[in-house]
Amino acid sequence: MTGCARRSLLPTEGDPRMLRLVLANLLSNAIEFGRTRAPAVIAVGWRLESAEVAYFVQDNGIGFEMSTEAVRQLGLSWALLNQPARL
């Protein structure tokens, strides 16, 4: 992530409150974990992935290894928490 490029985000559909919450949390984390970097760099953007638009918040903060068991478990926990309720 070098330089500064500006490109408008594409429109999307979804619950406006949830989208704001997700974006606020991602930006908050990027600021929190990038604050010790000099300079801290945060990018917000989109890219096409399999004919769909994927939005991202990217930073040069401390990060974590995506292949670790903890990340796999975090994904599993997220999936379980976001399942539709079963009666």
Residue 22 has pLDDT above 70, yes or no: yes
pTM score: 0.62
Integer Cα distance of 60 and 31 in angstroms: 10
Q: Coil, strand, or helix at residue 6?
A: coil
CA distances from 4 to 7, 22, 42, 44, 64 (A): 10, 23, 10, 11, 25
Q: Coil, strand, or helix at residue 52?
A: strand
**Tokens 């908050």, located at residue:** 28
Pairing of strands 52-59, 42-49: antiparallel
pLDDT band at 84 (very low <50, low <70, confident <90, very high): low
Q: Which residue has the higher pLDDT, 86 or 84?
A: 84
